[in-house]
């Protein structure tokens, strides 16, 4: 193998997650959010896996991700760009029937102009401002947007009318989320009154769909939950305690594992500093394993002297600092550990499991960030 570590993606876990989440949203369409390189899972590997579990809609962040998705997706699979789209990329985007979210009048006008040129409909999702104040077309611009949409029916297909909640995973944002929902409902009515009927009304991310079922509407944009993680502890607790969703075994299974191998073994006599500097002093004669992973490979420096890995089904603690490409773990209590042995950085080995959230707690990163930062160049394989 060229690479010093690899990522395994569990098809059975993904299929289970999707089946469970589909059950939770009834007949609404499941849009699989694959921004951030499919939350680190790898767009190219993830799309066919999700397709084989029945997914036909994907949401990407930008034109680059849409381009990658186009190379691997099945013929009837739909792609929507939720974020950045430069006007100079609109030609091939419209040409390839990639939909995109529109949150400025400029983008709407550019879409119409390009669609006219191609004598083809641009597929758009209109996003009004509802209170997140990030993207979203201003309420005062909506009448002009409605007029443009009505007048240009030959050049536009309004696939969606959508919004996004500013933190549905936390009860601290309850009021803000509810206000957004109310405003969105009012804007929906304005659209209907005007005789404009989008194909899908959608507002929910994982958290909103799983705690506020009325936000499900016609489509849910599932990100984190499909990969096997609850958006937050609060969302998990809310489900655990609710009548309709309570569970004894967690219905969400982690899809991703990250593995490497021991590069070399070293014995260190009592009373010596290990690795750079003086952060770790051996207090006994020790046996250490060197792991060929460092912060360049995505293993955070903040795991120095605090992280752990699994070797031979046992826990091995990080000793000393995480270097750019290596770190060391204590294998004194794992007899027989040798170069070439499998090392689990995230995932299961034997009876033990290193979850992304335990890993994330040590680094003060949330699941989302840890996953999305897994380097692009680590090979991903389906298992």
For ligand PLP, the closer CB: 7 or 252: 252
Measure the CA–CA gap between 93 and 64, rounded to whole angstroms.
Answer: 10
Of the candidates 48, 43, 46, 32, the one whose C-alpha atom is nearest the C-alpha of residue 67 is: 43
For ligand PLP, the closer CB: 33 or 322: 33
User: C-beta of 206: minimal distance to ligand PLP in Å?
Assistant: 3
Residues that bind ligand PLP (CB under 6 A): 33, 35, 82, 164, 205-207, 221-225, 231
Residue nearest to ligand PLP (CB): 223
For ligand PLP, the closer CB: 23 or 270: 23
For ligand PLP, the closer CB: 263 or 372: 372
User: C-beta of 25: minimal distance to ligand PLP in Å?
Assistant: 12
Measure the CA–CA gap between 212 and 203, rounded to whole angstroms.
Answer: 11
For ligand PLP, the closer CB: 42 or 223: 223
Measure the CA–CA gap between 333 and 353, rounded to whole angstroms.
Answer: 18
What's the sign of the alpha-carbon dihedral 311, 314, 315, 320? negative
User: C-beta of 5: minimal distance to ligand PLP in Å?
Assistant: 24
Measure the CA–CA gap between 82 and 204, rounded to whole angstroms.
Answer: 14
Report yes or no: 266 and 290 within 8 Å, Cβ to Cβ.
Answer: yes
**364: alpha, beta or left? (left if phi > 0; alpha if psi -120 to 50):** left
Of the candidates 223, 235, 220, 224, the one whose C-alpha atom is nearest the C-alpha of residue 171 is: 235
Helix (H, G, I), strand (E, B), or coil: what is residue 157?
strand
Measure the CA–CA gap between 186 and 171, rounded to whole angstroms.
Answer: 23
User: C-beta of 110: minimal distance to ligand PLP in Å?
Assistant: 21
User: C-beta of 65: minimal distance to ligand PLP in Å?
Assistant: 12
3-state secondary structure 164-210: CCCCCCCHHHHHHHHHHHHHHHHHHHHHHHCCCCCCEEEEECHHHHH
What's the sign of the alpha-carbon dihedral 233, 235, 240, 245? negative
For ligand PLP, the closer CB: 103 or 258: 103
For ligand PLP, the closer CB: 93 or 366: 366
């Amino acid at each position: 193998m060229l690479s010093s570590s690899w990522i395994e993606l569990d098809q059975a876990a993904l299929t289970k997650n999707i089946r469970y989440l589909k059950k939770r949203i009834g007949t609404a369409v499941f849009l699989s959010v694959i921004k951030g390189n499919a939350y680190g899972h790898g767009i190219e590997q993830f799309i066919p896996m999700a397709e084989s579990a029945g997914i036909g809609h994907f949401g990407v962040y930008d034109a680059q991700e849409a381009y990658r998705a186009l190379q691997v997706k099945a013929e009837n699979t739909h792609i929507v760009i939720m974020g950045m789209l430069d006007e100079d990329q609109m030609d091939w985007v419209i040409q390839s029937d990639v939909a995109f979210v529109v949150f400025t009048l400029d983008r709407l006008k550019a879409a119409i102009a390009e669609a006219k040129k191609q004598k083809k409909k641009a597929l758009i999702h209109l996003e009004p401002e509802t209170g997140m104040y990030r993207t979203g077309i201003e309420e005062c611009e909506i009448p002009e947007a409605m007029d443009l949409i009505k007048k240009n029916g030959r050049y536009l297909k309004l696939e969606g009318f959508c919004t996004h909640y500013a933190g549905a995973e936390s009860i601290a944002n309850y009021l803000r989320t509810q206000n957004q929902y109310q405003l969105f409902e009012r804007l929906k009515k304005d659209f209907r009154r005007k005789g404009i009927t989008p194909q899908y009304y959608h507002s929910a991310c994982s958290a909103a769909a799983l705690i506020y079922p009325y936000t499900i509407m016609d489509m849910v944009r599932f990100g984190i939950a499909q990969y096997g993680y609850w958006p937050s502890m609060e969302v998990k607790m809310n489900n655990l305690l609710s009548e309709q969703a309570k569970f004894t075994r967690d219905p969400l299974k982690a899809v991703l594992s990250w593995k490497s191998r021991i590069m070399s073994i070293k014995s260190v006599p009592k009373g010596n500093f290990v690795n750079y500097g003086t952060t770790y002093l051996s207090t006994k004669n020790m046996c250490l394993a060197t792991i060929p992973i460092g912060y360049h490979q995505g293993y955070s420096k903040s795991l120095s002297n605090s992280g752990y890995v699994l070797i031979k089904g046992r826990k091995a603690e990080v000793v000393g600092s995480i270097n750019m490409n290596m770190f060391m773990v204590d294998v004194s209590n794992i007899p027989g550990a040798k170069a070439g042995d499998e090392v689990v950085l995230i995932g299961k080995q034997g009876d033990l499991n290193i979850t992304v959230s335990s890993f994330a707690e040590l680094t003060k990163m949330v699941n989302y960030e840890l996953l999305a930062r897994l380097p692009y160049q680590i090979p991903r394989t389906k298992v």
